Amino acid sequence: MLLVTLLVLLLSSPEPLAGEVQPPICSNANTMYTPQDAYRSNLISLARTLIAGVAEKRSHSAGRTAGTGPDKVYGAVLCRGDSTGEDCAGRLPQALGKAMNDTAGGGSSGHSQKAMSTFYDDDYQARLSFSDEDFLSGFTNAPECTLRAYLNPPPSTDDPDRFTKLVAELMEKLVPAAAERPSRCSTGQGWFDPRGKIVYGMAQCTEDMPAAACRECLAGVVEQGRNTSGLTTGGAILGARCSLWYQTGIKFFAGDPEVSLHMPTPKQARFELRLLSMAVQNVINLWRIEEGNSGFSLYDFSQIKEATQNFSGENKLGQGGFGSVYKGLLPGGLEVAVKRLSACSVQGLLEFKNEIQLIAKLQHKNLVKLLGCCIEGEHEKMLVYEYLQNKSLDVFIFDVVKGTKLNWPKRLHIIDGIAQGILYLHNHSRLCVVHRDLKASNILLDSDMTPKISDFGMARIFGSNMIESNTTRIVGTHGYISPEYAFDGVCSIKSDVFSFGVLVLEIISGKRTAGFYSYDGKLYNLISYAWQLWRSGQGHELVCFGIGNDHQVIQRCIQVALLCVQERADDRPSIDQVVTMLNSEEMTLPKPKQPAYFYVRSSGSDASSCNSTISITLAR
Residue type, 580: T
In 3-state terms, what secondary structure has residue 392? Answer: strand
Question: CA nearest 33: which of 130, 145, 110?
Answer: 110
DSSP letter at 573 equals P
In 3-state terms, what secondary structure has residue 288? Answer: helix
- Alpha carbons 572 and 567: distance in angstroms, whole number: 8
Q: Give Cβ neighbours of residue 318 (< 8 Å, ≥ 6 apart).
A: 324, 325
Q: CB 389: neighbour CB atoms within 10 A?
A: 11
591 labelled ligand-binding: no
Residue type, 507: I
Q: What angle (nearest 5°) sits at the alpha carbon of residue 313, between those of residues 309 and 315?
A: 55
Q: Give Cβ neighbours of residue 78 (< 8 Å, ≥ 6 apart).
A: 60, 61, 126, 127, 129, 204, 206, 239, 240, 241, 242, 243
- Alpha carbons 433 and 460: distance in angstroms, whole number: 6
Question: CA nearest 203: which of 230, 170, 158?
Answer: 170
Active site residue 132: no
Helices (H), 227-373: 266-290, 301-307, 346-359
Helices (H), 334-443: 346-359, 394-397, 408-423
Q: Give Cβ neighbours of residue 404 (< 8 Å, ≥ 6 apart).
A: 546
- Which residues on adjacent β-strands are paired with residue 521? none
Question: CA nearest 378: which of 339, 416, 345?
Answer: 345
- Alpha carbons 168 and 204: distance in angstroms, whole number: 16
- Alpha carbons 239 and 500: distance in angstroms, whole number: 38
- Which residues on adjacent β-strands are paired with residue 298? 373
Say which of 132, 437, 455, 496 is annotated catalytic. Answer: 437
Q: What φ, ψ does residue 261 adopt, rounded to 5°? A: -125, 130
Residue type, 595: P
Q: CB 568: neighbour CB atoms within 10 A?
A: 12
DSSP letter at 374 equals E
- Cβ atoms of residues 203 and 178 within 8 Å: yes
In 3-state terms, what secondary structure has residue 600? Answer: strand
Packing angle, helices 408-423 and 493-509, rounded to 10: 170
Concatenate the DSSP letters of all residues of 188-250 into one string. EEEE--TT--EEEEEEEE-TTS-HHHHHHHHHHHHHHHHT--S--SEEEEE-SSEEEEEEES-
- Alpha carbons 15 and 10: distance in angstroms, whole number: 7
- Alpha carbons 103 and 116: distance in angstroms, whole number: 13
- Cβ atoms of residues 364 and 429 within 8 Å: yes
Q: Give Cβ neighbours of residue 170 (< 8 Å, ≥ 6 apart).
A: 188, 189, 190, 199, 201, 246, 259, 261
The annotated binding site for ATP is made up of: 339
The annotated binding site is made up of: 339
Residues annotated as catalytic are 437
